[in-house]
Structure 1
Amino acid sequence: MAGVRALRAFQQLSQRTFSTAARRRVENKVPEKQKIFQADNGLPVHLKGGVMDAVLYRLTMGLTVVGTVYVMYELFDIALPKKK
């Protein structure tokens, strides 16, 4: 009998903690984002997010170019024999 009471008490406690948790109302921003990304303004989709998207795009392209140049340098350095 004590086990059943303990189980019911645990059940009520678990329901109470989940059901009375403070809920913050989060504004749905999906429609706003859809308008921004579906607008026909001539920008590619990876740049429609604003300045931060442009910065991240340029940083990624810069790192890609620097990495490619470095790999080519290393390949030529390995491929060509060293002069003594």
Structure 2
Amino acid sequence: MYKQLMGLQQLSRRTISSSARRQVDNMVKEKQKLFQANNGIPVHLKGGAKDAILYRLTMALTVFGKCINLKLGM
């Protein structure tokens, strides 16, 4: 039983240590250029479609919450 556990431990160490690591590019300079560009777009929407969706969802939830608050307050 002990030998099986030692073999499993060695196998797991090899699997974890030999896994390929992702190469991550430093995108800070590109993001800074994007967000500092003077193109008339508000900074909270400069991230693209994902930011626009999140902004609209936030506004919809805010209006919905305010309506529920007014309804329950009466």
- TM-score by length of structure 1 reads 0.62
Secondary structure of the residue aligned to 1:53 is helix
Greater CA radius of gyration, 1 or 2? 1
How far 1:44 sits from its partner (Å)? 1.0
Percent identity between the two aligned chains: 61
Q: 1:51 Cα deviation (Å)? A: 0.4
Tell me if 1:33 matches 2:20: no
CA-atom RMSD in angstroms = 1.8
Over 6 Å off, 4+ runs? none
Q: Distance in 2 between matches of 1:54 and 1:40?
A: 18
- Taking the aligned partners of 1:23 and 1:31, their CA distance within structure 2 comes to 23
TM-score normalized by the length of structure 2: 0.69
